[in-house]
């Protein structure tokens, strides 16, 4: 499962590089990698996080984290493709990532046995939320 996640992330990164260089196939790489990664996360994508057993995860946190990461990734893909309502998806995704980040920080200290699970959730929420926030901050209110 971790290999699939890394493959989808690599496809999105290569798609962004292709888009910057105006090479053909950029849109296909961004869309396919981004949507597959979003589908990988939603709603139970965190079953792939490093945990000793599936019972070492919190079901509702997996659903919340998967949904917010799916929303953030959808906003990022829509923003990169310059689709309408991409800023709305970015704001909803980064807000959801912030909530997931705060909850995983809270529960990480309360449940020491699930530290690996909450750390993985925390890192993914931090990275995608920060990326969505940065894109929104840099380009909010500016014409495309």
Question: What pLDDT is recorded for position 106?
Answer: 93
Interatomic CA distance for residues 140 and 144, integer angstroms: 10
pTM confidence score: 0.78
What's the whole-number mean pLDDT along residues 10-35?
87
User: Which of 139, 64, 74, 48 lies closest to 98, judged by CA?
Assistant: 64
Confidence of residue 76 (pLDDT cuts 50, 70, 90): confident
* Sequence spans of domains, the chain: 2-45+59-139
Question: What pLDDT is recorded for position 103?
Answer: 93
Question: What pLDDT is recorded for position 43?
Answer: 58
pLDDT digits (tens, 9 = 90+) for 8-18: 888 888 888 88
Question: What pLDDT is recorded for position 47?
Answer: 57
Question: What pLDDT is recorded for position 142?
Answer: 64
Question: What pLDDT is recorded for position 44?
Answer: 55
């Amino acid at each position: 499962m971790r290999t699939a996640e890394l493959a989808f992330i690599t496809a999105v990164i290569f798609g962004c590089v292709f888009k910057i260089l105006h090479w053909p196939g950029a849109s296909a790489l961004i869309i396919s990698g981004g949507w597959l990664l979003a589908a990988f996360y939603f709603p139970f994508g965190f079953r792939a996080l490093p945990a000793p057993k599936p019972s070492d995860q919190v079901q509702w946190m997996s659903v919340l984290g998967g949904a917010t990461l799916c929303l953030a990734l959808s906003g990022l893909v829509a923003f990169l493709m310059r689709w309408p309502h991409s800023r709305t998806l970015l704001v909803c995704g980064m807000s959801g990532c912030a909530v997931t980040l705060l909850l995983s920080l809270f529960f990480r200290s309360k449940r020491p046995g699930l530290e690996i699970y909450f750390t993985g959730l925390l890192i993914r929420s931090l990275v995608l939320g920060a990326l969505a926030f940065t894109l929104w901050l840099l380009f909010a209110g500016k014409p495309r």
